[in-house]
């Protein structure tokens, strides 16, 4: 192999890496706020309902992972008195109720990632979130969207596909934090 062939191979490798890593993951931007207990409007967060739209296939595991991840994320922040699953139970403190609908879900299987790699496509998850107070007043509403990079998912052998519901839970937690504070 001569020097010209080596330069060509290196050039093509650099171009390939550029296009591979330029296809980044996508997620809904959520306002980051410095949240401290003193600027919280709500002291409790209650996950009231988390359902799937009728067209979503096999949403059960994704919903459980997303909700548990979000509740765990909010609990570790140690800002709220309560972060729990529940109904319309009335608390003495101001309470933020979260209702969510999983509107779209596609998680590429590990087998597809193994055999086809990035060409299996991109996993994605969409959640319509409504936050309301104890009086039923709508505090915030937003559609959250997350889609990991297909190339990164191939390199991690589907790890980022499997972690999508957990990562969406963290995104949901950030949205709740931004909406629960006085900014």
The domains of the chain, with CATH numbers, are: 25-180 (3.30.160)
Q: Report residue 15's pLDDT band, with 50, 70 and 90 as the boundaries.
A: low
User: How much is the pLDDT for 22?
Assistant: 44
pTM of the model: 0.82
Give the C-alpha separation, 76 to 68, whole Å: 12
For the chain, the first-to-last Cα distance in angstroms comes to 62
pLDDT at 28 over 70: no
pLDDT tens per residue, range 138-178? 999 999 999 888 777 777 788 888 999 999 999 999 999 99
Q: What is the pLDDT of residue 121?
A: 85
Q: What angle do CA 104, 123, 100 make, to 5 degrees?
A: 30
Q: How far is it, in rounded angstroms, from Cα 52 to Cα 90? A: 26
| CA nearest neighbour of 102 among 163, 56, 152 | 56
Residue 181's pLDDT band (cuts 50, 70, 90): confident
What is the SS3 assignment for 30?
coil
Is the model more confident about 91 or about 81? 81
Average pLDDT over the chain, rounded to whole?
85
């Amino acid at each position: 192999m001569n020097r010209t062939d080596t330069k060509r191979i290196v050039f093509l490798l650099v171009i390939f890496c550029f296009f591979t890593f330029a296809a980044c993951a996508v997620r809904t931007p959520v306002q980051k706020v410095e949240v401290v207990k003193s600027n919280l409007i709500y002291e409790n967060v209650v996950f009231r309902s988390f359902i799937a739209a009728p067209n979503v296939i096999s949403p059960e595991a994704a919903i459980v992972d997303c909700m548990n991840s979000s509740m765990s994320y909010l609990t570790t922040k140690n800002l709220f008195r309560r972060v729990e699953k529940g109904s319309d139970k009335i608390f003495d403190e101001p309470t933020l109720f979260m209702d969510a609908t999983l509107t779209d879900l596609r998680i590429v299987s590990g087998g597809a990632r193994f055999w086809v790699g990035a060409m299996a496509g991109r996993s994605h998850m969409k959640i319509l979130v409504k936050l309301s107070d104890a009086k039923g007043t709508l505090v915030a509403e937003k559609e959250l969207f997350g889609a990991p990079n297909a190339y990164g998912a191939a390199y991690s052998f589907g790890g980022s596909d499997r972690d999508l519901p957990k990562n969406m839970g963290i995104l949901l937690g950030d949205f709740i934090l931004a909406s629960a504070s006085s900014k």
